[in-house]
Chain A
Amino acid sequence: MESSGPGDRQAERAAGFATRLLDFADELRSEGMAVGTSELLDAFEALRHVPWTPEEDFREALAATLAKSPEDRRVFELLFDRFFFRAVEEAALEQGRESEHFESGEGGNLDLDSLRHRIRAAIREGTDGELRDLARLAIAAFGREGEGSGVIGVDVQRIRRTLGLKGQSGDPQAQTDPDAVPRDRLREFERHLRRELERDQIERTEQLPPAKPLREFDRALPSNPLQDLAAVHRVVSQLRRRLATRGHEQRGRRRSQVVDMRRTLRASLETGGVPLRLRYRPKRPRRPELYVLCDVSTSVTSASVFFLSVLHALHDSFRKLRSFVFVERISEVTDVFEREQSFKEIAHAIATDKGVADVSGYTDYGRVWLEFYESVVDDLDPRSTVIVLGDARTNGREPHAEVFARISERAGRTFWMNPEPQLYWNYGDSVIRAYEPFCDGVFECWTTKQLEGFVNALTELRPTAVTP
Chain B
Amino acid sequence: MVTELQSVDDVRARLAQAAYLAGESTALVSYLAAQLGKPVLVEGPAGVGKTELAKALSRATGRKLIRLQCYEGLDEAKALYEWNYRKQLLRIQTEATGSGWDDVRDDIFGEEFLLSRPLLNAIAETEPVVLLIDEIDKTDHEFEAMLLEVLSDFQISIPELGVVEARSHPLVLLTSNNSRELTEALKRRCLYLWLDYPDVERELEIVRMHAPDLAGAVARKLVEVIHEVRALDLKKPPSIAESIDWARALLLLGADDIDEAVLAKTMSVIVKHRTDLDVVAERVGVKLSSDGIFGAGRQAG
Contacts and interface: CB of A to CB of B under 8 A. Distances in A.
Interface in A23-51: 34, 36, 38-39, 42, 45-46, 49-51
B180 interface: yes
B279 A50 contact: no
A60 B192 CA distance: 10
Nearest to B74: A252
Given A73-B194, A249-B180, A253-B142, A50 B233 contact: no
B89 to A, nearest CB: 6
Interface string B23-46: 011001101100110100101000
Contact of B180 (A175, A245, A252): A245
B140 A70 contact: no
B212 interface: no
Given A50-B8, A70-B194, A242-B180, A251 B72 contact: yes
A252 B24 contact: no
B140 A252 contact: yes
Contacts of A57: 8, 24, 28
Nearest to B193: A64
A172 interface: yes
A233 B25 CA distance: 27
Interface string B269-280: 000000100010
A350 B179 CA distance: 30
B283 interface: yes
A72 B13 CA distance: 30
A343 to B, nearest CB: 7
A57 B31 CA distance: 11
B24 A68 contact: no
Interface residues of A, number: 48
Contacts of B188: 36, 38-39, 68
Nearest to A229: B233
B24 A56 contact: yes
Interface string B55-77: 00000000000000000110100
Contacts of B36: 42, 45-46, 49
Contacts of A73: 192, 194
Given A57-B28, A244-B179, A251 B73 contact: yes
B91 interface: no
A238 B32 CA distance: 29
A368 B170 CA distance: 62
Contacts of A341: 275
A36 B137 CA distance: 23
Interface in A163-184: 172, 175
Contacts of A42: 36, 38, 191
A305 B293 CA distance: 30
Contacts of A172: 283, 287, 293
B141 interface: yes
Given A42-B38, A73-B194, A64 B279 contact: no
B79 interface: no
Of residues A63, A175, A274, which shows the largest number of chain B Cβ atoms within 10 Å of its Cβ?
A: A63
Given A34-B184, A230-B233, A70 B43 contact: yes
A63 B32 contact: no
B292 interface: yes
Contacts of B41: 68
A341 B276 CA distance: 10
A342 B277 CA distance: 13
Interface string A236-259: 001001101110111111000000
Interface of B: 8, 24-25, 28-29, 31-32, 35-36, 38, 41, 43, 72-73, 75, 85-86, 89, 137-143, 177-181, 184, 187-188, 190-194, 233, 275, 279, 283, 287, 292-293
25 contacts: A34-B184, A36-B188, A42-B38, A46-B35, A46-B36, A49-B35, A60-B25, A60-B29, A61-B28, A63-B25, A65-B191, A65-B192, A70-B194, A172-B283, A172-B293, A175-B293, A238-B178, A241-B178, A250-B140, A251-B73, A252-B75, A253-B75, A270-B86, A271-B86, A274-B89
Interface of A: 34, 36, 38-39, 42, 45-46, 49-51, 56-57, 60-61, 63-65, 67-70, 73, 172, 175, 230, 233, 238, 241-242, 244-246, 248-253, 270-272, 274, 276-277, 341-343, 452
Closest A-B pairs by Cβ, 5 of them: A252-B140, A68-B192, A68-B187, A49-B35, A60-B25
